[in-house]
Amino acid sequence: MEETISLKELFLVLRKRIFMIIIITFSAALVSSIFSFYFITPTFESSTQILVNQKKKEANIVQYNEVQTNVQLVNTYSVIIKSPAILEKVKNELQLDTSIGALNGKITVASEKDSQVFSVTVQDTDPKQATAIANKIAEVFQQEIMNIMSVDNVTILSKADVAEGQAPIKPKPLLNVAIAMVVGMMVSVGLVFLVEYLDNTVKTEQDVEQIIGLPVLGIITHMEEIKQDITTTVVKRGQNLGA
């Protein structure tokens, strides 16, 4: 016999254990907020922009082929700028206490499609450190590219700067709390249905029918309730007679 569950029954199950759902949901949000505010170190971001453009001997003359060449060089420069040849000098000049691999992991190079401009973004737990690294990378790259590629077509378009009251890019406590509440609610609902599924106690006449396979002929009211009602009635009559 196929057993079906109606939406009403599902709603009743959830309502019966609503406090369990609330406790788990808000506990997950509380744990997430504690970790976000007190245990996760804030990370700051700083960016600088670099323009790839060959210096012209004749003013106001722009060749299409030169522009396309510069655009194609952006991809090459994006690799060179994160190479040990550049990062080693950055590390030594700033006297950074980190490995080249760790420094490389803090750097992101991005460019728009068909653009001669690309950005160098550095993430660090110290906003001033992130700004210093970003600017030093651009400076060292501008100097070393002339030796590496034998070209002078790199210009620092904008330098990184520390904004007043700069907010960290991560963690984002409100987002983390919201995600934790959604996950906590999903987990709590799953646990509610699991507990309900594993609960094999007999509660209703339908449970009796399902277990013994016989129809229920009648229901006996709870004896304690009947006894209490009789006792209350006798006491009231006695008080009336005494009065």
Contact 118, 110 (CB under 8 A): yes
Within-domain flag for 62: yes
Nearest to 138 by CA among 49, 41, 35: 49
Nearest to 136 by CA among 41, 70, 50, 43: 50
> Which of 158, 192, 221 marks a domain boundary?
158
pLDDT at residue number 91 = 95
pLDDT at residue number 177 = 95
Whether residues 93 and 73 share a domain: the answer is: yes
Which residue's structure tokens are 């790259």?
A: 141
Supply the pTM of this predicted model: 0.69
Nearest to 124 by CA among 142, 139, 112, 137: 137
Measured at the CA of 84, the angle between CA 78 and CA 89, to 5 degrees, comes to: 105
Cα separation of 98 and 140, whole Å?
Answer: 18
Whether residues 150 and 233 share a domain: the answer is: no
**Residue 42 DSSP SS3:** coil
Whether residues 21 and 99 share a domain: the answer is: no
Contact 158, 50 (CB under 8 A): no
Contact 116, 70 (CB under 8 A): yes
**Residue 226 DSSP SS3:** helix
Which residue's structure tokens are 């590496």?
A: 148
Whether residues 132 and 185 share a domain: the answer is: no
Instruction: Pinpoint the alpha helices (H) of 118-172.
Output: 127-149
Domain with 30, as residue range(s), is: 7-35+172-237
Question: What does pLDDT average to in each consecutive run of 10 residues of the chain (243 residues)?
Answer: 67 89 95 92 94 66 65 88 95 94 94 87 94 95 90 89 87 93 95 86 69 69 57 54 53
pLDDT at residue number 72 = 83
